[in-house]
Amino acid sequence: MSTSLLVFVVLTASPAAGAGEARNSEADRLVEQALEAELEGNNAKRRNLLAEALRAAPQCEAARWQTGQVRVGRRWMTLAESQQTAAEDPLLERYRRTLAECDGRMTPAAAQRAMARWCRQSKLPQQERFHWLKLIELSPNEPEALAALELCWHRGQLMGRDEAAEMQAVERAQHEWCDRLQELAPRLERSENSDQSAAAWERLRSISDPAAVPGLATVIAPRSRQLGLEIVALLGKMRCHEAAASLIR
């Protein structure tokens, strides 16, 4: 699994933190920029962005992971500190022995599945999540791992189930708007003095739903220069990122 995919999963699978949600959103954006800097080979910029993310949201999991820290219980610590803690913890000693046994007698995917189940039974949630993620890396459509992390694939992207449901709802609304606009379009091109045309133009100019934006741009705007200009004006009045993105294109 790529570094960016791992961070994505951490961001989408972890529960929100209530009042800290806005700060986490800013920190998540900084982590994404840090990953981009890493891909560009700019490690200094990466370190600075991660430090800024932690200042914005000290509990941001993605930033902690990317700075090489791990969470043990409720504490974040360096790998060396965690190893010292693990050496003193009998449960983690059993974890290491079980991991070695699974690696020695199972296929990689089976070992990750077995370890995730063992960690769940042993109440080691962070380790459990790690092994489910490794299993998805080996077997992207593994149903048990996806269910455990509350993730799913949607249009080739791995995301939280709630996010996928929201995207599907938006897509349905966009499709419904396209159908409505297909019916509206011919009436817009009739004589402007007709009652049907006047009603159609009034209906068009009253649209404010962001879900209508794709249909306005692809169904209505291409039909004539006049309609194209009308759609540009309409989108300019809509206060949503969908309209702004459509105008940029």
Question: DSSP string of 140-180?
Answer: TT-HHHHHHHTEEEETTEEEEHHHHHHHHHHHHHHHHHHHH
Structural domain spans, the chain: 1-67, 75-149, 163-248
pLDDT in tens, 68-108: 888 777 788 887 887 777 677 788 889 999 999 999 999 99
Q: Is the pLDDT of residue 249 over 80?
A: no
Mean pLDDT, range 130-143, rounded to an integer: 95
Residue pair 61/28 in contact (Cβ under 8 Å)? The answer is no
Q: How confident is the model at residue 61 (pLDDT cuts 50, 70, 90)?
A: confident
Residue pair 158/5 in contact (Cβ under 8 Å)? The answer is yes
What is the model's pTM? Answer: 0.53
Residue pair 240/210 in contact (Cβ under 8 Å)? The answer is yes
Rg (CA), the chain: 25
Q: How many CA atoms lie within 13 A of 236 on its CB side?
A: 6
Q: Is the pLDDT of residue 232 over 90?
A: yes
Q: Is the pLDDT of residue 11 over 70?
A: no
Q: What are phi and psi of 21, to 5 degrees?
A: -60, -45
Q: What is the percent of the chain where pLDDT is above 70?
A: 88
Q: How confident is the model at residue 191 (pLDDT cuts 50, 70, 90)?
A: low
Q: At what angle do helices 43-56 and 21-39 cross, to 10 degrees?
A: 170
User: Which pLDDT value is given to residue 182?
Assistant: 94
Q: Is the pLDDT of residue 3 over 50?
A: no
Q: How confident is the model at residue 4 (pLDDT cuts 50, 70, 90)?
A: very low
